[in-house]
Chains A and B, each alone.
Chain A
Amino acid sequence: MVNEPRAVPARIGSTETVVEVRDLWMRYGQVEVLKGVDFTARRGEVLALLGPNGAGKTTTIEILEGFRARSSGHVRVLGTDPAEGDERWRSRLGIVLQSWRDHGKWRVRELLGHLAAHYRPHSEPDRVRPRDVDELISTVGLEQHANKRVSMLSGGQRRRLDVAIGIVGRPELLFLDEPTAGFDPEARRDFHDLVHRLSDLEDTTVLLTTHDLDEAEKLADRILILAGGRIVADGSAETLARGVARDAEIRWTRGGDRYVHTADDATAFVRDLFDQYGDAVTDLEVRRATLEDVYLSLVHRHETGRTDEAAMAFEKETR
């Protein structure tokens, strides 16, 4: 899996904390969904929250959005406790909702224009709110459908509209809950470009949940894995892969037989291999642990009830 390098000049030196979560707990009756979640996000960072279904990703996001009251813990979003966020605070957030059938009778431009008007009193000199609606419509590729009723849009077009609504107020912090569910590959690539543009050009902090590892790896500067009510891993895709499994897997063919070997230092092993057998070695493959391996091993440990162990093991290895 090749991760294309990204130009990130705006982020260098940016240390402003946009999201701060410390020891966040959420209980529904006797059930503890979040058991001491800790993480921070800095301005302009793209964070992916990964985790199996029911791990509490949506609960976490909804607490940060101010849509859900937490049981306990310290939470600051753009310097404010979301439970006490006022309208000005809300104007600085963007939320991409999974729409279903709301505003079905509205036309696309009419709806975006109306929702955009809410942000007008909250415009700032260095962050003009709202965005120009026609520009936004072409940014998300809905020019052909601007005068259509929302109920006449296809699923993918609706998701593009959801994204447009989420960023119409030029947010400083954008929440995306399962953003590309229902996207075709082209729409998905457009969406990834858009997220990169938002974070690079407008310094927007993006917090997204997904269970698509490929997407997390492509989009995120940092990946958080939520399992068993806790963040069990926090780092770039590469750091995570190295942290959990340093060993590489080496496969080769010699004399018609297929061999597999795992080694800590793959380069040295391969050098020895060639020294010993030279041209007889064919079909050589060296495979480092991928994010998927990391994820599956963490989730597996969580699901077999050894979450604490998994989290601790990980901490030890990345230290």
Chain B
Amino acid sequence: MTSAAHTLRIGIARGWIEFRQTLRTPSDLASYLLNSVIMLVILSFLDRNEPAAGAISLGMIGLPGALATMIVFGGVTSMAQYLSIEREDGTLLRCRALPGGVAGYLTGKVVSVSLMTLLSMLVILLPGLFLIDGMLGNGISTLPTALWVTLLGLLATLPYGAIAGALFTNPRVATGIMLVPIMGLIVISGVFAPIDGFPGWIQTAAQVFPLYWLGLGMRSAFLPDTALAVEIGESWRTLETVGVLGAWAVVGLILAPIVLRRMARRESGAAMEARKHKVMQRVV
């Protein structure tokens, strides 16, 4: 067995164990799924009734938008949060002492955060399909589209979560700092309202970031082509979606290992001890 394959196997095993632990820990599960519940509440306030033929309701835009938002929350916020927490508590240092430990740890984190993100999306999707009329018009073809958008979305977001987790040593700061720009993106990216009603410069800015494209990709999975009337260029722009998300993924996958390697190199017992001391002081 090559060492890369072995590391991958160990990482997947770690991710699966962590995922099961989260499912068994009510407080973790609650904090993970809180966002999903908030999304469901928002969706329940949007217009959910069957629209007239050929038209779409706000609820029909909101459900794919909520799924896209969960990808960003999972890939960026959760990843950053877990990485900085587990750096503080010594998990990463423990792994650094093992052969192939850091690579295994990161693989595991990607696996567990991805699984939890998928779960948080299902928690919105399953009730959402009953809550909001007109979501199943595309039939079975919805599934493969939603899947590739999700996977590409995770690739485009997880590296940045990892980078943020590596840069901020304080988990509370990491979460707080990530939340503000993500909230901003939710507002400008047409997640809960058609983007064509926004000023041009906001549209342009939104298209730089993954969230807009994740929303568009998700809408292309769930909505009929009649919904294109409110999209930029009246097209699902699948190629552009792959292009922009792919570019974020590539840049992230190049940057993340550099930043993470620097971070891992700095992990030592003394650094851990200093952080522990700081936390103790905060508690006192």
**Pair from one complex:** yes
Question: Which A residues are closer than 8 A to B by beta carbons?
Answer: 58-59, 62, 65, 67-69, 87-88, 90-91, 93, 95, 97-106, 110, 114-115, 117-122, 165, 169, 177
Complex: A62 Cα to B274 Cα, angstroms: 15
Which chain B residues border A59 with CB–CB below 8 Å?
A: 270
B89 touches A100 (CB 8 A): yes
* Residue of chain B at shortest CB distance from A99: B90
Determine whether the beta carbon of B269 is less than 8 Å from that of A118. no
Known contacts A90-B99, A106-B21, A114-B14; is-contact A121 B1 (Cβ 8 Å): yes
In residues 13-37 of chain B, which contact A (Cβ within 8 Å)? 13-14, 17-18, 21, 25
- How big is the B interface, by class? 20 to 34
> Is B93 an interface residue, CB under 8 A from the partner?
yes
Query: What separation, in Å, do the CA atoms of A100 and B90 have in the docked complex?
Result: 7
Does B267 sit within 8 A of A, measured CB to CB? Answer: yes
Select from chain A the residue with minimum beta-carbon distance to B13: A114
Known: A62-B268, A90-B97, A119-B98. 15 other contacts (CB 8 A): A62-B269, A69-B265, A87-B3, A95-B97, A97-B269, A98-B269, A102-B89, A102-B94, A114-B17, A115-B94, A117-B10, A117-B13, A118-B101, A118-B104, A119-B99
Q: Are B25 and A105 in touch, CB under 8 angstroms?
A: yes
A and B contact pairs by CB, cutoff 8 A, 7 listed? A62-B268, A69-B265, A93-B97, A97-B94, A97-B269, A100-B89, A121-B99
Using known A-B contacts A100-B276, A121-B1, determine if residue A115 contacts B267 with beta carbons closer than 8 Å. Answer: no
Are B276 and A110 in contact (CB-based, < 8 A)? no
Once the chains are docked, how many angstroms separate the CA of A165 from the CA of B95? Answer: 11
Residue contact A110 to B99, C-beta cutoff 8 Å: no
Alpha-carbon separation in the docked complex, A101 to B86 (Å):
9
Q: Are A120 and B6 in contact (CB under 8 A)?
A: yes
Chain A neighbourhood of B237, CB < 8 A: none
Q: Nearest-CB distance from A161 to chain B (Å)?
A: 11
Shortest Cβ gap from B280 to chain A (Å):
10
On whether the beta carbons of B272 and A100 are closer than 8 Å, the reply is yes
How far does the Cβ of A1 sit from chain B's closest Cβ, in whole Å? 30
Across the interface, B267 reaches (CB within 8 A) one of A67, A114, A165, namely A67
Given contacts A58-B270, A110-B17, contact A97 B93 (CB under 8 A): yes
User: Top 4 A-B pairs ranked by shortest CB distance?
Assistant: A91-B99, A102-B90, A102-B91, A87-B99
Query: Contacts of B265 on A, CB cut-off 8 Å?
Result: 69
The CB with the most chain A CB atoms within 10 A, among B18, B86, B94, B104, is that of: B94
In the bound complex, do residue B86 and residue A102 qualify as a contact, i.e. CB atoms below 8 Å apart? yes
A104-B272 Cα distance, complex, nearest whole Å: 16
Which residues in B have their C-beta under 8 angstroms from that of A106?
A: 17, 21
Is A97 a contact partner of B6 (Cβ separation < 8 A)?
A: no
A115 to B13, CA, bound (A): 11
Q: Are A103 and B91 in contact (CB under 8 A)?
A: yes
Bound-state CA distance A98–B268 (Å) is 11
CA distance A277 to B259 in the complex (A): 79
Determine the distance from Cα of A106 to Cα of B14 in the docked complex, in whole angstroms.
10
- A97 touching B97 by the CB < 8 A rule? yes
CB distance from B20 to the nearest CB of A (A): 10
Distance between B90 CB and nearest chain A CB, rounded to angstroms: 4
- With A67-B96, A95-B97 as contacts: A121 and B6 at CB distance below 8 Å: yes
Nearest A residue to B94 by beta-carbon distance?
A: A102
In the assembled complex, the CB of B224 is this many whole angstroms from the nearest CB of chain A, namely 45
**Residue pair B269, A67 in contact (C-beta under 8 Å):** yes
**Taking the nearest CB of chain B, how far is it from the CB of A28, in angstroms?**
11
A101 touches B1 (CB 8 A): no
Which residues of B lie under 8 Å from residue A118 when comparing CB positions?
10, 98-101, 104
Chain B residue contacts of A101, Cβ below 8 A: 89-90
User: Which of chain B's residues have a CB closer than 8 A to the CB of A122?
Assistant: 99
